[in-house]
Chain A
Amino acid sequence: MAEAEARAGALVAEDVHKRYGDTVALDGVSLSIPEGEVFGLVGPNGAGKTTLVRALTGTTRCDGVITVLGAAPGAVDAHRVGLLPQSFHPADRLTARELIAYYAGLYDEGRPVDDVLADVGLADDADTWYENLSGGQRRRACVGTALVNDPDVLFLDEPTTGIDPAGRRSLWSLVDDLAAGGTTVLLTSHSMTEVERLADRVGLLRSGSLVAVGTPDELIAEHGGDSHLLVDGAGVESDAVAAALDAEVGERDGRLVVRDVALADVGRVVADLEAAGVDFDSFTWAEPGLEDVYLRLTGEAMTDVEGRSR
């Protein structure tokens, strides 16, 4: 049975559609996630990430075929599935320990509460009411509620929202451990660093469609573009930089972007800028990452010199 599940994919969606009135939330999404894989789902707000999680967990009705561990979402053994919903707000006057104990008590063999608290880094604040925990601690308590049954398939919808960097890294290492133990994880996130760090494969949703799926390296190679130089400076004008370098110059987050600059060429480029009298404050050289893929494929937050959306 487990072998068959692994072959078929722990999570399979075929041509899944979902509409809210006139709004298309999912538009023919198909994907297969094998057992033990960490799959990262990214996309802009409203792209359909949460709807897809809901479709896969059977908490929303949709058209298409979905199987979780070989069964329809509504028929799968609930003991084998864990979910952290987006914007999850449990009872605020339970302590973290009571909250974990509550959800653990819903399963035949819930994990020891102290183990779960230790996993999410709340052992020292276990007896604090949820409403008195910090935002990051609350989110960690919520993550804990998804781990109480040691699930085979784990859905984490934006698990690290509001968590500080240290807490985020500790959750990342927890996800690593779960994946190493064979847990299939589907996580959504707005942090490309997180997805690049955790996911074996990444799916990019845009307007309800899965526009790209692959390993982070594959996606970066295919869609990430070239290495580039980011130039900072209050008075720096893109035309001056373009003329000095005879290159295409774009703009991102108030900084100028010079594309296709190899690391070995950085010295020459800086010398050219200085020779042309471009008064820049600092520069950063960067290789393309998943964020570049995201920006390129979603068309968000970046325009080049021609003013086209990228």
Chain B
Amino acid sequence: MSRRRRIRSCFTAAFRAFVRRKTAVFFTFFFPVLIILIFGALVQTQPTGGGLFAREPAYYIPGYLAVVVVFTPLSRVGSTIARHRDGNRFEKLATTPLRRWEWLLAHTLVNVAVIGLAALLLFVLVLLVTGANVVVGPGLLALAPLVVAGVALFCGLGAIIGRVADSQDGVIAASNAVAFPVWVLSETFVPPSMLPAWFRSVTALSPLTYFSRGVRAATAGGDPTGALLVLAALATGVFVAGAVAVPKTE
């Protein structure tokens, strides 16, 4: 009960602090919309020869969703940690009953709420703008746990980046440096067949690859269970590592 009270208190404060930053909220939603408008409406998918993309529009749904699942938690949790450290907030929290994993869980839940909403918006936009075909069935329900697991994983990674980087600027630079290659090369926008054979094993190491496979299976009428389980296991591991990385002492 008291643990739930602590997490709820931390979640409420973090959620309010986020939604009151209008610019951050706006760009959290606007950035992925921009990506869809650029890639989905301007560049477009033209399998017959034109355009940047070679596959059918639905192939790129994981890539669009990954914009928010990867970039937002990485930079948000990382910069939140930098802000907490700059304001001596961890020093204060270390003397309260709040555990580090409880803090990270509360902030992860805020990200799940915000990114869940953004992902829903993106999904609808992708269908409307790119004309992607989706198989409607129970498999689609797997999108929710896939997004939750993906967000948890990148929140954990964001915590590690926040611990390692020594400033908010450093967090943004480091999270972009991590997020961009992961986003592009995890079976999202570039099909494995277009990559060198040796690189496919590297792709298999990226947790986002399992998010992509899961989302693709869920939207194409396949079985996303395997990918979801791998992603959930990786998310658990990275979340635990992230919780350990949350600063406790100065």
Contacts and interface: CB of A to CB of B under 8 A. Distances in A.
B174 interface: no
B9 A105 contact: yes
Interface of B is mostly: helix
A300 B169 CA distance: 38
B12 A88 contact: no
A12 B142 CA distance: 56
Contacts of B2: 108
Interface stretch (B55-63, B86-94, B143-151, B176-184): B86-94
Given A60-B249, A93-B16, A108-B2, A78 B97 contact: yes
Interface in B123-182: none
Contacts of A98: 12-13, 16
Nearest to A151: B95
B95 A78 contact: yes
Interface stretch (A32-40, A79-87, A211-219, A232-240): A79-87
Contact of A94 (B16, B95, B249): B16
Contact of A89 (B17, B21, B87): B87
Contacts of A107: 96-97
Interface in B2-20: 2, 5-6, 8-10, 12-14, 16-17, 20
A87 B20 CA distance: 23
A195 to B, nearest CB: 22
Interface stretch (A51-59, A116-124, A278-286): A51-59
A102 interface: yes
Q: Point out which of A57, A61, A99, A105 has the most chain B C-beta atoms below 10 A from its C-beta.
A: A105
A205 B92 CA distance: 23
A103 B96 CA distance: 8
B6 A54 contact: no
A-side interface size class: 35 or more
Contacts of A277: none
A86 B6 CA distance: 24
A84 B13 CA distance: 19
A86 B134 CA distance: 55
Q: Point out which of B16, B88, B91, B95 has the most chain A C-beta atoms below 10 A from its C-beta.
A: B95
Nearest to A78: B97
Nearest to A88: B88
Contacts of A79: 97
Given A61-B249, A83-B92, A106-B97, A89 B9 contact: no
Given A94-B16, A102-B13, A58 B88 contact: no
State the 3 A-B residue pairs at the shortest beta-carbon distance, nearest first.
Answer: A105-B9, A89-B87, A102-B13
27 contacts: A54-B249, A57-B94, A57-B95, A59-B248, A78-B97, A83-B91, A86-B88, A89-B87, A90-B87, A91-B14, A93-B16, A93-B20, A93-B21, A94-B16, A94-B17, A98-B12, A102-B10, A102-B13, A105-B5, A105-B8, A106-B9, A106-B96, A107-B96, A108-B5, A108-B97, A145-B92, A149-B96
Interface of A: 54, 57-61, 78-79, 81-91, 93-94, 98-99, 101-108, 129, 145, 149, 155
Interface of B: 2, 5-6, 8-10, 12-14, 16-17, 20-21, 86-89, 91-98, 248-250
